[in-house]
Amino acid sequence: MTEKIYTEENGEYLKNNPTWHVEDSPWKAKQVLKMLNRNPDINPKSIVEIGCGAGEILNQLYLSMPDDVNFTGYDISVDAINLAKTRAKERLTFKHENFLDTNLKPDLLLMIDVFEHVDDYLGFLRLSKNKAKNTIFHIPLDLSVLGILRNIPMVNRISVGHLHYFMKGTAIATLVDAGYEVVDFFYTAGMLDLPRKTLNAKIAFLPRKLMYKVNEDMAAKLLGGFSLLVLAK
């Protein structure tokens, strides 16, 4: 095969995804806030995001959360950090470093669409396990019947660098295998909530919406287009 995987380190990711998906960031931040509202005992005062990309998720959280919360984003991509630093301000900073090499231990760690990009994802998760009191994961669910028929795992491998592919059961099992205790989780419905950019997405919208109302698990397994937000410790 001649297809090339676009990684964040070699500059190809920015070339293929020039906005670094900032248009989806307000929606993703809203999901994080929903999880925090469901679990008010967490009440974090320090939040770190691994793989912060262009930094807009943290920026949205900064605008929505109390002014005694400090936010720091880490990314190994210089392209991402150059974009993120345009959003930096007091209590919101961005660093071109590997967070796992630091001694920091924030109240809350965010991994929003991250570990599916990591070669040794289980090793990465185990190393991350004790770096924060609580961690919120957003995990794309690339595996569905329709997704497999449409070759979505390979599409996402080429376009956004996904190396591992999950359904709800394997996503949760992965976190448990890495030593996490899952506290709470829910589906996020990007294909329903966000603008539908392709004809296929527009065609699938109504069946996906109707099935999701009847049975969320069945909709995710058969039609796809969903991710999983997980709170773990």
Residue 208 pLDDT > 80: yes
- Domains located in the chain, CATH noted: 12-142+160-191+226-232 (3.40.50.150)
Q: Are 148 and 142 in contact (CB under 8 A)?
A: no
176 CB-side CA count, 13 A:
9
Q: What is the pTM (predicted TM-score) of this model?
A: 0.88
The 10s digit of each residue's pLDDT in 72-120 is: 999 999 999 999 999 999 999 999 999 999 999 999 999 999 999 999 9
What average pLDDT does this structure show over 25-47? Answer: 97
Could you give the CA distance from residue 87 to residue 188 in angstroms, rounded to a whole number? Answer: 26
The 10s digit of each residue's pLDDT in 58-74 is: 999 999 999 999 999 99
What is the strand order of the sheet 134-140 is part of? 92-95, 70-74, 46-50, 108-112, 134-140, 227-232, 182-188
Could you give the CA distance from residue 32 to residue 34 in angstroms, rounded to a whole number? Answer: 5
Burial code (b: 16+ CB inside 10 Å, e: under 16) for 27-61 equals ebbebbeebbeeeeebebebbbbbbbbbbbbbbbb
